[in-house]
Each structure stands twice: as structure tokens, then as C-alpha cells.
Amino acid sequence: MDNYKFNEFIKIAKMLNDIEIIPLLMGSVGLEVVTRKSWDAKDLDIHVPGDKRGWEVPPELNIYKWNNIVNIMNSMDYSLIDLHEHEFSKEGLSVEFGIIDTLPSFAGIQLEELEMQQMGEIKYYLLNHNQYLSVYESSFKDSYRADNNNNKDIKKIDFLKQMIFGNQKLY
């Protein structure tokens, strides 16, 4: 597991908690926490409350408390490099914010089913194995991601199915 990226997430989560946001750790870093396996995470994916219409809303409006998040990231020496992707960068680490409220329509994951984690006083959400499987299966259907993700999603899907279902025949 990439402790540097996870530790950086915890620092960001603490600051988000201070403005009453409990973030969801997504992507490969979150999957590493859940599976205890390295997935060669390239960035941090953090989902926070926002408009469930997602990209239909202008990027400066679709994440709630966006100006507060920008201020937090700036205070941590991150620079906003792509407003549309809500992407920040610092010393080669990319942090992208997504909208937690799109999970039900995107992957069928209900927000009340998310599991809250706590590290000291820092609160955050983390998907479980089945929820990660739903996210990666949904992501794989996205043509951009399928074309540009070098089959990493397939490996994650296969690994998660093996963890969840073991040696059972899946079809």
C-alpha cells in the first residue's frame, strides 16, 4: 500500500472534516486499503458532496463548498490545474475531487450504505469489496476509461471477483 498517498488523504480529510465534509476515498489508493494489495496508484481520488447531476452542472458549481475546498488545497500548497476535473497538484501528486452523490446512478451504491471509517478524530468513507466491484464494472463500461486505462480495471475486477466469490464459477 502507498502510505504516502494515504497519509496525504488523511491530512486532506482532516481539513475537510473541519468544514463538515466527510470525504470518500476512491480509486486505487482506497482499493489498496481495502485489498491490502498495491495497485500502483498514480493519484488520489476523493469524492465529496455535490450535485447528483454531475457534469451537467458547471464545474465551479457541481461540488458543494467548492471555494472552501480550493482554499484548503491552496493552504496545503496544492495548485488547481484543471477546474473541469477538479484536479490539484503538488510535487507530482495529483488530487482529483469527484461527486459522492453520483454513486447511486453511476454504480448503484446508495450513500447510506457507505462505511464510515475513523482514524483518531478524522472521519472518512471507504467502499467495501462489493462496492468497489460495482464501481470498476461501471467504470469499465465508460469508453474513455476502457480505451485509456491499459486494462488496469480488468485486473481489479478479476481480483475483486476472486476475493468475493473465491473459486466459484461466475457464469
CATH number assigned to the domain comprising residue 52: 3.30.460.40
pLDDT bracket for residue 140 (50, 70, 90): confident
Instruction: Name the residue type at position 129.
Output: H
Helix (H, G, I), strand (E, B) or coil at 70: helix
Alpha-carbon distances, residue 17 vs 48, 56, 150, 159 (angstroms) = 11, 27, 35, 32
Is residue 171 in some structural domain?
no
Checking if the pLDDT of 73 tops 90, the result is yes
Is residue 160 in some structural domain?
no
**pTM of structure:** 0.89
**Segments forming the whole domain that contains residue 45:** 3-127
Which helix or strand (DSSP H or E) is residue 31 part of?
Answer: helix 27-35
- Determine contact, residues 108/134, Cβ cutoff 8 Å: yes
Kindly report, residue by residue over 20-62, the tens digit of the pLDDT: 999 999 999 999 999 999 999 999 999 999 999 988 999 989 9
Distance between CA atoms of 107 and 131, rounded to whole angstroms? 8
Is residue 119 in some structural domain?
yes
Number of domains in the chain: 1
Is residue 110 in some structural domain?
yes
pLDDT bracket for residue 149 (50, 70, 90): low
